[in-house]
């Protein structure tokens, strides 16, 4: 019996059930992934007992000799993984990391240009209920109605008109590549800082499967727990000493107190894994799997926004199958496949009850799924839609999903 099990059985049981849920289901939520056993182990260490306000060599408490070793290793690995000169590994998560950048580079009320939220942007990119939208004046570009792609001419036009102090490129639900150089040239023209939020695609960038904004943009933020396959947390990269200093001050003492050292150790472990050659194979497979899923679904009559994908994610207009996003999310859950409802560009439905679902292949690829298993997933999604009124058929489908999942651990062993 584990110590937790004997001391606090109810919490132990809920944790165990979550593990079983993850083992028996297929994870297609685009922002989720599975960490390696080493990352998981790194998160549950005695470093959680330690206060370490400040940075390596400049702390406000004693006893930092080992904390300094691990934070320095996390910083050095992040820098080499992304080819950046400066890295801050302390942000607790993606949203606070973004706020820290705004706090470092802007004054309250300054104008920021970013992707509209209902076109794939993120809450921390100026949603009116988020601190970003309350403290700064966000103005937004959109995707083109016919192509589903960002139109750089529109970005330039809005930038010239609104004169933002910061131009933000990044998304939570957009399946196409971003033209980093074009964003930078627009920003230079209007005298704006450039910030890339690669929360979703960091693993694909680290795995050299898509272009990197590092070296082009002033600042790059990312979560560490999505395609990058690390612990929950975030990272801020830059190449300018002046900006890096401002960001360090914005994180501490500006916004945070003591960093979470076990998460930082786990970030370092994950960066180490991402530096291995097998991670580049992983990143390529994630995209190949997403492209396969997108084309198989389109063959079956599902409408995919922009007609395909260049990364790990797909936004499907479920009204093409007579379902709303929420209904589809619930239906797929019933057969053991997790997805997340999503707005589609120019969505005729309300944000709380949108038309789409967002799917992603980062987690199933970590599990070792290849094209054959992806074809099975496309098939199950299609059969679930057809069987939506038959409880017995849905139960049978769920068993098929669970049977396949049982053959795969959550994290396929690293092969190098």
Ligand X SMILES: *Cc1c(COP(=O)(O)O)cnc(C)c1O
Q: Are 55 and 67 in contact (CB under 8 A)?
A: no
148 vs 230, which CB is nearer to ligand X?
230
Active site residue 61: no
CB of 249: closest distance to ligand X in angstroms?
21
- With CB under 6 A as the contact rule, the residue among 25, 54, 94, 356 that binds ligand X is 94
Question: Rule CB under 6 A: is residue 95 a binding residue for ligand X?
Answer: yes
Active site residue 66: no
Residue 59's CB is within 10 A of a number of other CB atoms, namely: 17
Active site residue 53: yes
Question: Rule CB under 6 A: is residue 197 a binding residue for ligand X?
Answer: yes
172 vs 291, which CB is nearer to ligand X?
172
Integer angstrom CA distances of residue 151 from 117, 142, 144, 186, 338: 16, 8, 6, 13, 31
Looking up tokens 């009559």, which residue turns up? 301
- CA 116 – CA 125 distance, rounded (Å): 8
Question: Rule CB under 6 A: is residue 311 a binding residue for ligand X?
Answer: no
Question: Rule CB under 6 A: is residue 223 a binding residue for ligand X?
Answer: yes
Question: Rule CB under 6 A: is residue 124 a binding residue for ligand X?
Answer: yes
Active site residue 226: yes
- CA 232 – CA 238 distance, rounded (Å): 21
- Interface residues for ligand X in 8-47 (CB under 6 A)? 31
CB of 197: closest distance to ligand X in angstroms?
5
Question: Rule CB under 6 A: is residue 170 a binding residue for ligand X?
Answer: yes
Question: Rule CB under 6 A: is residue 93 a binding residue for ligand X?
Answer: yes
Q: Are 235 and 44 in contact (CB under 8 A)?
A: no
- CA 343 – CA 324 distance, rounded (Å): 10
137: DSSP letter: E
35 vs 335, which CB is nearer to ligand X?
35
Q: Which stretch binds ligand X (CB under 6 A): 62-70, 164-172, 370-378, 402-410?
A: 164-172
| Pairing mode of beta strands 193-197, 166-170 | parallel
Question: Rule CB under 6 A: is residue 140 a binding residue for ligand X?
Answer: no
- CA 367 – CA 338 distance, rounded (Å): 15
CB of 228: closest distance to ligand X in angstroms?
11
Residue 292's CB is within 10 A of a number of other CB atoms, namely: 20
68 three-state secondary structure: helix
- With CB under 6 A as the contact rule, the residue among 52, 172, 227, 306 that binds ligand X is 172
Both tokens of residue 127? 């949603």
Active site residue 197: yes
Binding site for ligand X (CB under 6 A): 31, 93-95, 98, 122, 124, 170-172, 197, 199-200, 223
């Amino acid at each position: 019996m584990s110590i937790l099990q004997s001391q606090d059985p109810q919490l132990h049981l809920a944790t165990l059930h979550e593990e079983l849920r993850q083992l028996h289901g297929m994870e297609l939520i685009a922002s989720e992934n599975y960490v390696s056993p080493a990352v998981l182990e790194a998160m549950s260490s005695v470093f959680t007992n330690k206060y370490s306000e400040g940075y390596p060599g400049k702390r406000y408490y004693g006893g930092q000799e080992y904390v300094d070793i691990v934070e320095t290793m996390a910083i050095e690995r992040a820098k080499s993984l992304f080819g950046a000169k400066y890295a801050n590994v302390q942000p607790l998560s993606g949203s606070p990391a973004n706020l820290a950048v705004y706090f470092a580079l802007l004054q309250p009320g300054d104008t920021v240009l970013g992707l509209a939220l209902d076109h794939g942007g993120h809450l921390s990119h100026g949603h009116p209920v988020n601190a970003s939208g309350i403290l700064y004046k966000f103005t937004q570009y959109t995707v083109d109605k016919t192509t589903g792609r960002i139109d750089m001419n529109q970005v330039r036009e809005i930038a010239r008109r609104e004169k933002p102090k910061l131009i933000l490129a990044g998304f939570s639900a957009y399946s196409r590549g971003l033209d980093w150089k074009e964003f930078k040239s627009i920003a230079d023209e209007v005298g704006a800082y450039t910030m890339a939020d690669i929360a979703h695609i960091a693993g694909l960038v680290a795995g050299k499967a898509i272009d990197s904004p590092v070296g082009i943009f002033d600042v790059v933020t990312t979560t560490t727990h999505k395609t990058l396959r690390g612990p929950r947390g975030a990272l801020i990269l830059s190449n300018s000493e002046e900006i890096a200093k401002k960001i360090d001050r914005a994180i501490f003492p500006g916004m945070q107190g003591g960093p979470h050292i076990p998460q930082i150790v786990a970030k370092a472990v994950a960066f180490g894994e991402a530096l291995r050659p097998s991670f580049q194979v992983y990143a390529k497979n994630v995209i190949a799997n997403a492209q396969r899923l997108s084309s198989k679904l389109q063959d079956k009559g599902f409408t995919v926004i922009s007609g395909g994908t260049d990364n790990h994610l797909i936004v499907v207009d479920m009204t093409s199958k007579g379902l709303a996003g929420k209904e589809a999310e619930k239906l797929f859950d019933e057969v053991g496949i997790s997805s997340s409802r999503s707005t589609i560009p120019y969505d005729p439905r309300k944000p709380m009850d949108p038309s789409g679902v967002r799917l992603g292949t980062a987690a199933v690829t970590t599990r070792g799924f290849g094209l054959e298993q992806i074809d099975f997933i496309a098939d199950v999604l299609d059969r679930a839609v057809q069987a939506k009124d038959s409880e017995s058929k849905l139960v049978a489908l769920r068993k098929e999903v669970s049977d396949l999942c049982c053959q795969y651990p959550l994290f396929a062993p690293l092969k190098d």
